[in-house]
Structures are given as structure tokens and as C-alpha cells.
Amino acid sequence: MKALLIVAHGSRRKQSNAEVVNMAEQITQSNSVYHIVHAGFLEIAAPLIPDGIQQCIDEGATSIVVLPYFLNSGRHVVDDIPRIVNLVSDNFPEIDIKIAPHLGSSPLMTELLMSCANRVQ
């Protein structure tokens, strides 16, 4: 069973974290690839990445894609998330855990950006 863990930075502002959780719920309902979709956070908010991975496994995931919900390839994307995910992976050798490219690297980003600009009122 495939799981998707959307990992955002985590904010002191609860609404920012809730937006990521809402997006995970929206994707749960609209996608046909991942049976399990959750939000996780690098810091500040819960669940942290290890707990998010654990939650996916508890719900029956056999493979997990961790998706960094970040616009830029900063140290969180390049160092922190891979380090944490690798540490957790060592505890679950039977689970296939992979990290997807971060959001900002998508070739669709310019299209998304233009669609936002065109929504100006």
C-alpha cells in the first residue's frame, strides 16, 4: 500500500500548518495512486517527520514517498529532510521510503505562477 507524506517546514502560525493538512486531505480524496496521504513537519508543528512516517506504516503503508513542500532547494531540502528520512528508514528496512523532488523544482511551476498572476482582480 502506497503512502504520500507531504513535509512542510512547520510554522508557529497554526493556520499555515492547517493549510498543509487540508491539502493532504484534499489529495487523499482526489488521487488514485496513494491510499494514505498525510502532512508532516520538519520542525515546530506535529507530526514531525519520524511520527508522520510511523503513522503511514501504522496504517499499512509498504512504500512511502516523502514530498518536500518547499519552494527553494535550501538546506532543509538538501540536508535536513534527507538526513531525518534516512535515519528513520534504517529502522524500517522492509518499507520502501523515497524522497520526491521538492515542490519548487517542478517543471509545472512557471505554469502555476502564471495562473496565479492571471487570477489578479
Q: How far apart are CA 99 and CA 41, in angstroms?
A: 14
Q: Return the residues of window 24-63 that contact a second copy according to CB under 8 A.
A: 26-27, 30-31, 33-34
- Residue 38: CB minimum distance to a second copy, A: 13
| Residue 4 bridge partners (DSSP) | 37, 65
Q: Of 58, 75, 90, 94, which lies in the binding site for a second copy, with binding defined by CB under 8 A?
A: 75
Q: Of 7, 61, 67, 84, which lies in the binding site for a second copy, with binding defined by CB under 8 A?
A: 67
Grid cell of 17 as nine digits: 500548518
Element (H, E) at 97: strand 96-99
* CA 48 from centre of chain: 11
The residues of the shown chain that bind a second copy, judged by CB under 8 A, are: 4, 6, 8, 11, 13, 15-16, 19-20, 23, 26-27, 30-31, 33-34, 65, 67, 69-75, 98-106, 108-121
